[in-house]
Amino acid sequence: MRNLWIVILVTLMAAGQQTPPTATAQPAGTTPKFSANSNLVIVDVTVKDKSGNAIDTLSQSDFVVLEDGKPQKVDIFEHQKLTLEPEAPDPPPALGDKNELPPPPKTVISSEGATKIQYHDKRLIALFFDFSNMQVPEQLRAQDASLKWLDEHMTTSDMVAILLYTTTVQVKTDFTADRMILTDIIKGLPIGESSDMADAADTGADDSEDTGAAFVADETEFNIFNTDKKLAAVEETVKKLATLPEKKALVYITGGISKTGMDNQAQLEATINASVKANVAIYPLDARGLMGDPPGGGASKGASRGSGIFNGSVVNSQRASINDSQETLATLAADTGGKVFLDSNDLTLGMTQVQQEFRSYYILGYYTNNTLTDGKYRKITVKLKSVASAKLEFRDGYYALKVWGKFNGDDKEKQLRDALTTGDPQTDIPLALEIDYFRISPVAYFVPVSVKVPGSVIALAQKKNGGETEFDFIGNVMDERKSVVGQLRDYIKVKLDPGEAEKLASRNFNCDFGFTLAPGRYRMRFLVRESQSGKMGTFDTKFVVPDLAADSMTLKTSSVVWSSQRELLKAAVGSAEQTSRKIAAANPLINGEEKVVPNITKVFHRAQNMTVTFDVYDAAPDPANLTARKVAVTMSLFNQKGQKAFEAGPITATAVASTRPNAVPVNMQIPLKTLAPGHYVCQLNVVDEVGRKFVFPRQSVVVQ
């Protein structure tokens, strides 16, 4: 039901379908009232002169609005005049006054609908505290700055809402000008909650902190590295504000959004598109403030490992990590019309910056005559008939709605391919994806791709259609010149017994496919659609296939595939059967009639065995047997305190693969039943005993 309301509300804000509008002229000074249909498009326009001052004297007839170059009739018009006049301080309580409790805050974003302007001459500021991204010091800094801003800088035009994200998005109060209510809510924020999620999972760099980083698995094991979860929380918050036609500022108070290796670019694009549709400008504030960690880390962190502290790579790694965590914030701000506030301990300056940027503006509404629900981008242009030197700020356009209704086979195929190429990705179905590489010739690599889809999606089809559904998969790989070098088109039919329906919520299934690529940088875009509901999920990411032909002092290996299960190729649920048959001969993860199923989320259960699969390349021949190699492998697991909790091996791999030149396959299996639940860092110690080369790949995992 919640998704249905989101669809309805976004429809009113963006674009739509059929009925022609009925608009009547409004007398000056009256509240504008207008009928709405799914064709309504709202555009908030800020007009400034050469000096940067707001121009407040324009009328409806001064504006010209174009959509895809075609003139549109402006039916809705209102000027929102905002001031920076400080709010008067709260008067001290008089003698004899009763200490009456303030009214309880509204915990929903109320709206009279997208067709009515609810707040006249008000600056709408939503303070969004992302506690899943902040350690306790950052949470306290954000709390103090917010209280100071309310007390010293709140203006008569400001209406403030407060939202909090820990594990879910909570509306602490609707937009209000009551400083007492706002102050009480901020003082009551749950300091310390969700701070254990603030550090994203370690991606295993050799110069990173020795203890790894903590993260928490959600119930479905999806988005374990929580970048997508944080962006999805921003998207959900934006959609809560979408019902208000006024311009909104979302002050996103966070501890940065760290990248975690295989990030889904689609979620970032979906969040930005939702913000643009809802007329929300995002102003991220990095609550970490000014950061100056010494080389090797401060006293609150473990020492770095390896030789990086001596050659400068640790400093570069630290700076790169900070830049990566701030890059997404800068993208959110730039693409939604906001500004990012970084590297300052006074977060109040960032909040007052929002007030300075949010000048008086005009609300324009028109009913587009483009009734196609094709999901394509519609470009908006706003001009003035006079005042040619004025600077106008407005959203560039919007994506039309997509309707996945009843289509014939050709229509469904076209809609699927259009959805893959559109700039408005789908995020209704969560996806986890892993891309690996194995060398199959000196200049070619086999790149197996594994996609995991949650079983809850199948459970929904089980209830709707007697347990039978179909999943369509489509994807492509592009090189740096944006040429398509690999394509995928496949499907899975799923039919399950009614008795298995209750198990589906905790069961997942995989789609496996692969490409043969040369070394280089690539971008993959992948999409899945469930046939009964038409729901879709997009995964968009960049990856690199390294060139292992170059000389190196380090031992060369393929990707390390971490797994907890093997299954038969003919399994009905768990693979796209057509694809598996095509790639079975080339895929190093397939052995006979069985395949290794990568554990994409790196969440293992104690009752399982952990399986590690990879290739070692160009190891020196054994002098006693030139057809054999001597590769020794051990594994160590470190707990969160950096202490060794488990060690396995050594094992020795000697055989050279028959299908991959000069490759020594390595397979290890480690029982987990003796490990306590928690977060671990797994380190492989791989040594070519003849060639005197070694490598120490690492991976963060969760044991439940």
**What pLDDT digit, counting tens, does each position of 103-161 carry?**
778 888 888 766 678 899 999 999 999 988 788 889 999 999 999 999 999 999 999 99
Per-residue pLDDT tens for 404-449? Answer: 555 556 667 777 777 787 777 877 787 888 899 999 888 899 999 8
In the chain, what percentage of residues exceed pLDDT 70? Answer: 74
595 or 329, higher pLDDT:
329
CATH code: domain of residue 451 = 2.60.40.3880
541 or 19, higher pLDDT:
541
Predicted structure pTM score: 0.71
**386 and 338 housed in the same domain:** no
12 or 271, higher pLDDT:
271
68 or 195, higher pLDDT:
68
Per-residue pLDDT tens for 169-218? Answer: 999 999 999 999 999 999 999 988 765 554 443 333 334 443 332 222 33
pLDDT at 15 over 70: no
Whether the Cβ atoms of residue 283 and residue 249 lie closer than 8 Å to each other: yes
Return the pLDDT at 223. 42
Q: Which of 532, 549, 566 is the last residue of a domain?
A: 549
**342 and 393 housed in the same domain:** no
Nearest to 448 by CA among 568, 579, 603: 579
- Residue 12 within any structural domain of the chain: yes
**374 and 349 housed in the same domain:** no
**67 and 130 housed in the same domain:** no
Q: How many residues does the chain have?
A: 704
Strand order in the sheet with 158-165: 169-176, 158-165, 123-130, 248-254, 280-286
**392 and 340 housed in the same domain:** no
Q: Which of 549, 578, 606 is the last residue of a domain?
A: 549
**379 and 416 housed in the same domain:** no
Per-residue pLDDT tens for 234-279? Answer: 999 999 998 898 999 999 999 888 766 566 788 888 888 889 888 9
Whether the Cβ atoms of residue 117 and residue 40 lie closer than 8 Å to each other: no
Per-residue pLDDT tens for 465-477? Answer: 555 677 888 889 9
Return the pLDDT at 214. 28
Residues with Cβ within 8 Å of 13's Cβ and at least 6 positions away in sequence, in order, are 40, 41, 42, 114, 242, 243, 245, 277, 278, 279
Query: What pLDDT band is residue 9 in, cutting at 50, 70 and 90?
Result: very low
Range of the domain at 180: 123-357
Q: What's the rounded mean pLDDT across residues 45-64?
A: 90
Element at 41 (helix H, strand E): strand 40-48
**132 and 253 housed in the same domain:** yes
**225 and 260 housed in the same domain:** yes
* Rounded Cα gap, residues 144 and 129, in angstroms: 13
Per-residue pLDDT tens for 18-33? Answer: 334 443 444 444 444 4
* Rounded Cα gap, residues 634 and 687, in angstroms: 9
**15 and 141 housed in the same domain:** no
- Residue 510 within any structural domain of the chain: yes
Q: Which of 399, 423, 450 is the last residue of a domain?
A: 399
- Residue 52 within any structural domain of the chain: yes
Query: What pLDDT band is residue 500 in, cutting at 50, 70 and 90?
Result: low
Residue 258, class by beta-carbon neighbours within 10 Å (0-12 exposed, 13-18 middle, 19+ buried)? buried
Q: Is 678 helix (H, G, I), strand (E, B) or coil?
A: strand
* Rounded Cα gap, residues 221 and 200, in angstroms: 15
- Residue 533 within any structural domain of the chain: yes
**436 and 522 housed in the same domain:** yes
Per the structure, how many domains does the chain have?
3
- Residue 663 within any structural domain of the chain: no
* Rounded Cα gap, residues 32 and 54, in angstroms: 22
Return the pLDDT at 704. 83
pLDDT at 55 over 70: yes
Return the pLDDT at 430. 78
Query: What pLDDT band is residue 1 in, cutting at 50, 70 and 90?
Result: very low
Query: What pLDDT band is residue 398 in, cutting at 50, 70 and 90?
Result: confident
**426 and 293 housed in the same domain:** no
- Residue 213 within any structural domain of the chain: yes
- Residue 86 within any structural domain of the chain: no
Return the pLDDT at 95. 58
Helices (H), 566-605: 577-583
**426 and 531 housed in the same domain:** yes
pLDDT at 341 over 60: yes
* Rounded Cα gap, residues 297 and 595, in angstroms: 42
Query: What pLDDT band is residue 392 in, cutting at 50, 70 and 90?
Result: very high
Whether the Cβ atoms of residue 248 and residue 278 lie closer than 8 Å to each other: yes
Q: Is 332 helix (H, G, I), strand (E, B) or coil?
A: helix
- Residue 611 within any structural domain of the chain: no
Whether the Cβ atoms of residue 173 and residue 187 lie closer than 8 Å to each other: no
